[in-house]
Amino acid sequence: MTQQVQGVVAPGRDEPVRVETIVIPDPGPGEAVVKVQACGVCHTDLHYKQGGINDDFPFLLGHEAAGVVESVGEGVTDVAPGDFVILNWRAVCGQCRACLRGRPWYCFDTHNARQKMTLTDGTELSPALGIGAFAEKTLVAAGQCTKVDPAVAPSVAGLLGCGVMAGIGAAINTGQVGRGDSVAVIGCGGVGDAAVVGARLAGAARIIAVDIDDRKLAKAREMGATHTVNSRTDDPVEAIRELTGGFGADVVIEAVGRPETYRQAFYARDLAGTVVLVGVPTPEMKLELPLLDVFGRGGALKSSWYGDCLPSRDFPMLIDLHQQGRIDLAAFVTETIGLGDVEHAFARMHEGDVLRSVVVF
């Protein structure tokens, strides 16, 4: 059996997205169909549309979502119809070499649904990050559904499915920010602001937000930054050193994904400090650094995949902290929009006043 719903499809490279009828198969073994309630618009969706990820058009976009499980396939025991879930794009396998070594957040063989969603003419869709949640319903692997407290608004919960989790996780999981640390965050969009929130949660004493846009810096301050640096007018490396007794920050989180900002992060960190790269570079970017500085400055240069999160551990915990008022995830939702407004939301991403547009159903 199948059912038909409306969903946002990117038909081809740089073509505008369209709302189309999508055919959803009933869940097979290990799969679940989720009634999507909210899905945030992320840069990665735009990258898919532009052909920047791969050429497997048409894509069913959307991957930062929360909803209610409608039905599950054979053998699914962790979630059941009616459960409120956040969708994750790294459902750990439990069997690969990373999982077997007790590091499931690095899982090298994450799961997606086996069956394909299609257009009505049978054309197979490629769901963005194996999710495809700009749709009234979507088919995923059951492991991509993480149960959380249903009292939280779907538009807020869904944010943890991608950007906000990436940022918070960059600080608390990858950067291992500790009480009293100094932290600098370069690039204060949704991901960078979430890193600010994570650093504050972890007890950082000093949180220095760096951006080229004063509006972003004002927002970062609301999110918990203690200092701000506009790197268009001030040298961020010097400014960060000045704000940290002349030494540099213990942890610098790079949330832009460019060689020049990575270099700033590298030199703005104290000796033996940590750089966390959570911004995603493009294939042509190259980094050049004196190897002696890489050695001589010591410490750790790390990348953060999805905030090195373990959805089953981190999503419910962060939802609880939000419910207790200890972090404010709602502050990331700039606007809620309809399914037909995704193209417009892509355009607004570059205007600089949107952290997240969230499609609500």
CB atoms within 10 A of CB 74: 9
**Length of the chain as a residue count:** 361
Give the 3-state DSSP-derived string for 160-185, with helices as H, strands as E and coil as C. HHCHHHHHHHHHHHHCCCCCCCEEEE
Give the nearest distance from C-beta 157 to Zn ion in angstroms.
15
**CA-CA distance, 308 to 11, in Å (whole number)?**
32
Binding pattern for the stretch 97-136 against Zn ion, x by CB under 5 A and - elsewhere: --x-------x-x---------------------------
Amino acid code (one letter) for 267: Y
Where does this chain touch Zn ion (CB under 5 A) — which range of 27-35, 96-104, 299-307, 337-345?
A: 96-104
Using the rule CB under 6 A, is 186 a contact of ligand APR? Answer: yes
Using the rule CB under 5 A, is 162 a contact of Zn ion? Answer: yes
* Angle in degrees, CA 278, 280, 281, rounded to 5: 130
**Residue 261 binds which entry of Zn ion, ligand APR, none, with Cβ cut-offs from 5 to 8 Å by kind?**
ligand APR
* Edge-to-edge strands, sheet with 182-186: 227-230, 206-211, 182-186, 249-254, 269-277, 300-303
Which residue, 42 or 79, has its beta carbon nearer to Zn ion? 42
Which residue, 129 or 204, has its beta carbon nearer to Zn ion? 129
DSSP 127-142: EGGGT--SBSEEEEEG
Using the rule CB under 6 A, is 161 a contact of ligand APR? Answer: no
Residue with CB nearest ligand APR?
189
Q: 259 with 287: CB under 8 angstroms?
A: yes
**CA-CA distance, 48 to 352, in Å (whole number)?**
20
Alpha carbons within 13 angstroms on the beta-carbon side of residue 135 total 33
Task: Please give the residues from 229 up to 288 whose contact with ligand APR meets the rule CB under 6 A.
Answer: 231, 255-258, 261, 278-280
DSSP 198-253: HHHHTT-SEEEEEES-HHHHHHHHHHT-SEEEETTTS-HHHHHHHTTTTS-EEEEE
Give the nearest distance from C-beta 281 to ligand APR in angstroms.
7
**Residue 154 binds which entry of Zn ion, ligand APR, none, with Cβ cut-offs from 5 to 8 Å by kind?**
none
Dihedrals φ, ψ of 320, to 5°?
A: -60, -45
Using the rule CB under 5 A, is 358 a contact of Zn ion? Answer: no
Tokens of residue 57, six digits? 């058009």
Nearest of 241, 298, 305, 306 to residue 275 by alpha carbon: 298
**Residue 96 binds which entry of Zn ion, ligand APR, none, with Cβ cut-offs from 5 to 8 Å by kind?**
Zn ion
Task: Please give the residues from 30 up to 59 whose contact with Zn ion meets the rule CB under 5 A.
Answer: 42, 44
Where does this chain touch ligand APR (CB under 6 A) — which range of 9-17, 56-64, 90-98, 185-193?
A: 185-193
Tokens of residue 170, six digits? 């960059």
Using the rule CB under 6 A, is 211 a contact of ligand APR? Answer: yes
Using the rule CB under 6 A, is 184 a contact of ligand APR? Answer: no
**CA-CA distance, 357 to 163, in Å (whole number)?**
12
Give the nearest distance from C-beta 86 to ligand APR in angstroms.
17
Using the rule CB under 6 A, is 132 a contact of ligand APR? Answer: no
Given 15, 26, 78, 213, the residue binding ligand APR (CB under 6 A)? 213
DSSP-based three-state secondary structure for 40 = strand
**Residue 211 binds which entry of Zn ion, ligand APR, none, with Cβ cut-offs from 5 to 8 Å by kind?**
ligand APR
Given 191, 225, 276, 327, the residue binding ligand APR (CB under 6 A)? 191
Using the rule CB under 6 A, is 331 a contact of ligand APR? Answer: no
Which residue, 216 or 302, has its beta carbon nearer to ligand APR? 216
Binding interface with ligand APR (CB under 6 A): 43, 163, 166, 186-192, 210-213, 216, 231, 255-258, 261, 278-280
Per CB under 5 A, residues contacting Zn ion are 42, 44, 93, 96, 99, 107, 109, 162
